[in-house]
Amino acid sequence: MRLVLLGAPGAGKGTQAVFLKERHNLAHISTGDIFRQNLKDKTPLGLEAKKYMDEGKLVPDEIVMKMVGEKLAGFKPDEGFMLDGFPRTVAQAEFLEGQTKIDGVILFDVPDDAIVKRLSSRAVCKECGNVTNIHEHDKCPSCGGELYRRDDDKEETIRQRLKVYHEQTEELADFYRARNLLLEIDATGMPEEVFSRVVETLKND
C-alpha cells in the first residue's frame, strides 16, 4: 500500500505514521525529517533548506522533487510506504503521479486554533524522535531521552506555516478528491482516537 498523509503542520501526520507503520509495515518518508537530518549533518541540501524552513516557507519544488525522486527510486514495486509532508504543491503532486501509483490520500482535518495550541507545546525527543507535550513531560516518556523544541514551532513561524498551507497545499484535497483518492479524517482528539478513525476509513475504502 502506498499512501499520502495530507494535512496542516501539526495535524498529527507524523504521529499517525508511527501507528500506521506498525500496523501495515509501511516505510515512513517524511520530507521534513529528511531536511532536518541533512541540516544536522550540515550537508549542502540541509543548509539550503534551512533558509526556507526557518521562515516557515516551502523549500523550492525542484529541490524537494529531486530529493523525493531519489528516495522513491530505492523502493521495489511491491514495497509500501507513506509520504508525510509531500506533496505540498500541485507541481509536487503532478510529479508524484509520474513516479508511482498512490492507493489513498488521508487528509487529517484540524482547525487552525487547535494546531497553534498543539505546536506551541510540541516537544520532540532527541534520541527516538517521539513527539510529546512540553507541559506534560520533561524527558521522553518513551525512552527517557532529552526533549527539544523545533526551531519552526515558534508562534510567529507556526502562523506563517499555516498561511502557506492554506495558500499552497490545501488545494491538494480537491486534486485528490477529483481522482477519487481522498479519505478525510477528523483529526481532533487523542492520537489513539484519531488512529481508530484511520483504521475504520481504510477498512471501508
Q: Note the residues at the interface with ligand AMP (CB under 6 A).
A: 9, 31-32, 35, 52-53, 56-59, 64, 85-86, 88, 92, 152, 161
Active-site residue (options: 2, 13, 36, 118): 13
Cβ(6)–Cβ(89) under 8 Å?
A: no
Cβ(86)–Cβ(64) under 8 Å?
A: yes
- Shortest separation between residue 200's beta carbon and ligand AMP, angstroms: 25
Residue type (1 letter), 64: V
Terminal alpha carbon distance of the chain: 12
Give yes or no: 88 in active site: yes
Nearest residue (beta carbon) to ligand AMP? 32
Cβ(185)–Cβ(108) under 8 Å?
A: yes
CA angle 131, 173, 92 (to 5 degrees): 80
- Shortest separation between residue 129's beta carbon and ligand AMP, angstroms: 11
Active-site residue (options: 50, 71, 117, 150): 150
Active-site residue (options: 2, 36, 118, 161): 161
- Shortest separation between residue 114's beta carbon and ligand AMP, angstroms: 16
Give yes or no: 163 in active site: no
